[in-house]
Amino acid sequence: MAYATHTSRPQSAFAARINVALDNIRTRLERRRVYKRTLAELQSLSSRELADLGLNRSMLTRIAYQAAYEV
């Protein structure tokens, strides 16, 4: 004999749109966190450490943006 252990109701179109909107917000917040964390780490490096990496301070925001948003 088989038993159903999980049942699900189909979502309404409104609920589906809400879920999509919440997923978009979560994605944007996570990308923003990655951007801020990356930028903070890069800014904490000394000028010499940046030079060793072939970077200068004017490049940091672009690099952090690329890391977060994969542009």
Q: What is the pLDDT of residues 56-70, one digit of tens each?
A: 999 999 999 999 998
pTM of the model: 0.75
pLDDT band at 5 (very low <50, low <70, confident <90, very high): confident
Least confident of 11-15, 17-21, 41-45: 11-15
pLDDT at 3: 72
Closest CA to 47 of 37, 59, 60, 56: 56
Tell me the pLDDT band of 71, cut-offs 50, 70 and 90.
low
